[in-house]
Structure 1
Amino acid sequence: MPPAGRIPREIVEFFNAPGGHSLIAKGPAGTGKTTFALQLTEELGEVTASHYLSSRVSDESLFRQFVWLKERLKPAGLQSGGKVRAESKVARTALDQLEGKIMEGKEGDDAEPESIGGSEVKGSFLEVTLGFDLPELEAAYEFVDKRLPERSLVLIDSIDALGEHYGIPAARLITILQKDLVEASRQNVLYVLESSGETRLDYLGDGVVSLASSEYQGRRLRVLTIEKLRGQQVQQPRYLYTLDGGRLTAFNIREEFRPAKPQVWKPVKDLSKDAVSMGLDPLDRIAGGLSRGRVIAFEISNAVPADYVDWLRTAMICNFVSQGRGVAHVPPRKGSADFLRELVSPHLPAGAFDANVRVFEAATLGSAEVSRIVLHMEGTNVDSDLKWSNVEFQLPKAERPFLGLMAFDTLESVYGERVIEAMSGVFSALRRAKDVFVGFVTPDSASAAKLENLAYAVFRIDSVNGSVVVYGQKPYTELFNLSWDWSGGFPKAELRPIV
């Protein structure tokens, strides 16, 4: 089964609101306009049926490309021919007349008649023989008519290609459908538009959505922009999205994460005798886990929400501690051991945090009361303060390998910008013990380039239009959207490739 897609919530609510509504979906070729249109047939729960009118591809081609459509639309729902006209309940005044001033290329009264498809312009009016020249529109009207008073969704892909086929301006077709189906018959209509950027047609629909594909750090980035939705509040105007699995999935930046009750972490097993898990299955699959005796770097933008960083380190720490292994941690943002305990211990068995975790704090943060889990950083000699043999002494019952998880924003604030150059003893000790070192840096950190040179794997995490993305620099990977699933009671990372 393909992964489930997700249209932005505002668009679904817009179409499900009482009355008829129209939406223009525009963008260059390959941005997913057809996928977006067809997926609406699944996600509009209130709409009982959909009619897809395509001037570009056959029914068979659609079913081959979008296999999941067979479960939603029957071949009879993808019509392209005319029907014998019967008594109609749907409003069709504008279609029956199809006359009025031409919105483009207006002719004067003394102009020669200009041929437009199977119609003729006389002066500034258009005369059309109905039921013969417009079979696709007749079929759409009949589809809606049979289902009244229930609402239907009419998808026209694309409106400009249909206008070219008829020889009638797309603006005229939208005006006709808007008057008859949307306003008079209270139906929903989606117009797919081939062009991008601002167009004259944008003013004719009740809503406008644009889809675009661009590059981010040499990787594909897709952005869906809600330009307008008449009568609908838009809380998130821009969505990153993917077409992974043949579905359009827009990434919501305002999702609720935490359940009411935290649950104990379920350990993720080692990948091999030389590689342990990060506790993050998707990242394990990309990087091959954490190689023992080696360094991995995460470059995390300051724009990434602090919660994402906390959940990332929670997953790593919990996966080591839940297997009885030791952790030595320098928290980001000069964080404290008390905060880390509140963050991590609800997901661990009683006593496991104190037995297996040691937290380095700046000496100025130390309280008068000595805590067994705190190791002080005096600020003069980092190799001495972070001495690995001292960590081993402090964790006598912990299993190997240990995790050294260290944030360089804190280390630089305590020891200065050249701190990594003074940590050769720490790296050597971890390598000899075949433990694991994970470093967090920011893009503007003085340690970033040096740490990434030491690392066998480098991941970068950033925020784009409010969505958090991650990609591998070593090894090179495509761009992924990063989200968190808390349904199990603990943070589980989810990656979706932006393709």
Structure 2
Amino acid sequence: MIPGEIRQFFSSQFGKSLVVKGKPGTGKTTFVFGILHELCPGGNCIYISPRIDKSSSYGKFPWIEGDFNNNEDFLRMLASRIKAIWESSDSKPMIVVDSIDSLSIATTRSVHWEENKFELERLLMDFSRKVNADLVMITEKTDIDSLDYLVDGVVSVEISEMAGSDIRKIHLLKLRGVGMSQSRYLFTLHNGTFTSFEPFRVSFPEHTLIPSPVTDPAHSKISTGSPDFDEILGGGYQKGSFNLFEITSGVGDSFYSILLPTFINHLNMGRAMLSIPTEGTSVETEKRMISPFTNEANFPRQFKGFEIRDQKGRMPAYVEAFSGNLYKDMEIFYQSKHEMMRQLGSPLLDYIGLDSMEYSYGWENIGAVIGQIASVTKTTENIVVAVAKHGQKITDSVAHMATTHWKFENVDKTLVMYGIVPKTGMYVAQMDFSSGYPQVRLVPIK
């Protein structure tokens, strides 16, 4: 999927010209073929590449061989192909040159190809305007030159490094006539195709369904509720594990949606869940997000949420009040845990917002408590999912206790997740509600 701004750019009834820049291996050709697949379904495009074998997978589009004596011979051959397209179709043609540098070498066959390149660019621009065709020119020259000012659009494809992994971005530098909602998009070449990612959004369906539970793949594992995440973890969470999710600045509360399938699946397996919500999230909010996808009649029996509140007020059965005294509250927590384990057995899931605990009790006080939770959990079949937010002092001391440690980042409005323990590559996290319940897709950035 190419960015929506690119589709809008080429939707004009008049031909547009676009330059695609980037160093070798950044994904320029794959991006251009993403354009061709989406915008040229009727075969109204022409692909020109002196450097790629026509018998390759790129050869499915109408092709002009790169064997020309000069610019004039090339343009005559191109004009013949464009004439045939207009005679057989009402669709605007698209001409792709991959790359303008190699085409200039092919049409001059001399060391003066750079001088010829300027002339060839001018001829192609004039030609595409006269025949009302879109023109896409790929170049490996990344600096600004005169062509950038002549064409209607310029995009740059880049690779950078983040947390020891490659991350790919496309920069929309100029697109005349297009209002750009954003100028940079994260993308992947996973499965050999160009896929850019829209900003992370969560939109709950009007009609919800209760999903069939994802069973544990092995006796020693507990499914995350997401087949993609289960595969990354080698089958799911290890029984007796403490799993830390670190939320960096800019992510906000969107991370919670990614954990939803775990909570829903756990409850739909008939198991118990305890929750100390993160700051800004109440137990009632968690119920509104989780219960539509579970058996609501069983929810109060399986779920218990804890928060500091006036114990004199009337509370739902699924809420337990904390007092604000750490040791008293931990006693309440463990009493509830033991009672739920007595009724429902193991494995039980603890969800702990470390930011709310640090805010309520002080980071210097909760280290030993969290350490005890982690160490006790590792002697059981239960699991802990703990969330630490940007800037928390407790994060470093908790990280060394973690069985797994994951990090969420906001990269150009896209939610990215990667493993610190175990070390993994980058994944774009996407929410899918098309089936009536939340599913998490984790797409590798390659």
Given candidates 3, 8, 33, the residue that maps to 1:8 is 3
2:83: which partner in 1?
145
Deviation at 1:449, TM superposition (A): 1.3
2:269 to 323, 338, 341: 323
Answer yes or no: is the 8 Å Cα contact 2:20–2:136 preserved in 1.
yes
Distance 1:334 1:21 in 2: 48
Instruction: Output the CA distance in 1 between the equivalents of 2:252 and 2:116.
Output: 48
**SS of the counterpart of 1:20?**
coil
Partner of residue 36, structure 1: 31
Query: Residue 64 of structure 2 contacts residue 78 of structure 2 at CA under 8 Å; is this kept in 1?
Result: no
* Structure 1 range deviating more: 396-405 or 133-142: 133-142
Q: Distance in 1 between matches of 2:43 and 2:312?
A: 65
Cα RMSD of the aligned pairs, angstroms, is: 2.1
Q: Which whole-Å deviations, capped at 9, do the CAs of 1:330-349 have from their partners, x for residues lacking one?
A: 11115222111111111111
> How many angstroms does 1:394 deviate by?
4.7
Contact kept, 8 Å, 1:50 with 1:154, in 2: the verdict is yes
Aligned twin of 2:97: 156
CA distance in 2, matches of 1:46, 1:370: 59
Taking the TM superposition and a 5 Å limit, the aligned residue runs for 1:69-468 are 69=58, 72-73=60-61, 77-81=63-67, 134-148=72-86, 150-165=91-106, 166=108, 167=113, 168-181=115-128, 183-253=129-199, 257-288=203-234, 289-306=236-253, 308-364=254-310, 368-382=313-327, 384-385=330-331, 387-394=333-340, 396-418=342-364, 419-468=366-415
1:31-89 per-position Cα deviation (integer Å, ceiling 9, x unaligned): 111111222221105764211111222212xx1xx3xx46x42xx6343346xxxxxxx
- Structure 1 pair 314–38 and aligned structure 2 pair: CA distance change class (3 A): closer
Report Cα offsets for 1:282-337 as digits up to 9, x if no partner. Answer: 2221223111112111111131142x223123222111110110000011115222
Asked if the contact 2:50/2:65 (under 8 Å) is kept, the reply is no
State the Cα distance separating 1:429 from its structure 2 match.
4.0
Which moves more between the two structures, 333-342 or 461-470? 333-342
Deviation at 1:380, TM superposition (A): 2.1
Alignment CA distance shift 1:255-1:403 (3 Å): closer
CA contact (8 A) 1:388 1:429 kept: no
**Structure 1 CA distance, aligned partners of 2:226 and 2:195?**
22
Structure 1 residue 274, shift from structure 2 partner: 1.3
- Pick closer, same or farther for the CA change 1:424–1:189 going to 2, 3 Å: closer
Give a deviation string over 1:14-43, Cα, whole Å, max 9, x none: 112211111100010001111112222211
Q: Percent identity?
A: 25
CA distance in 1, matches of 2:98, 2:85: 21
3-state SS in 2 of match to 1:35: helix
In structure 1, stretches of 5+ residues that fail to align are 1-5, 83-117, 119-131
Contact 2:154 2:174 in 1 (8 A): yes
Is 1:470 matched with 2:414? no
Gaps of at least 5 residues in structure 2 are none
CA contact (8 A) 1:53 1:136 kept: no
Q: Is the 8 A contact 1:41 1:49 kept in 2?
A: no
Q: Which amino acid aligns with 2:316?
A: S
1:394–1:48 CA distance, 2 compared to 1 (3 A): same
Q: CA deviation at 1:225?
A: 0.5
Amino acid at match of 1:34: T
Size of the aligned set, in residue pairs, is 434
Deviation at 1:389, TM superposition (A): 3.8
Q: Name the counterpart of 2:44.
A: 49
Q: Secondary structure of 1:332's partner?
A: coil
Give the TM-score normalised by structure 2: 0.91
- What SS does the corresponding residue of 2:272 show, helix, strand or coil? strand
Question: Is the 8 Å Cα contact of residues 272 and 340 (structure 2) preserved in structure 1?
Answer: no
Contact 1:239/1:250 (<8 A) preserved: yes
SS of 2:142 mapped into structure 1: coil
Distance (Å, rounded) in 1 between the aligned partners of 2:260 and 2:346? 19
Kindly state the Cα deviation for residue 177 of structure 1 after the two structures are TM-superposed.
1.7
Letter in 1 for 2:213: P
CA-to-aligned-CA distance 1:330-382 (integer Å, 9 cap, x gap): 11115222111111111111312211000010135x56103221122222224
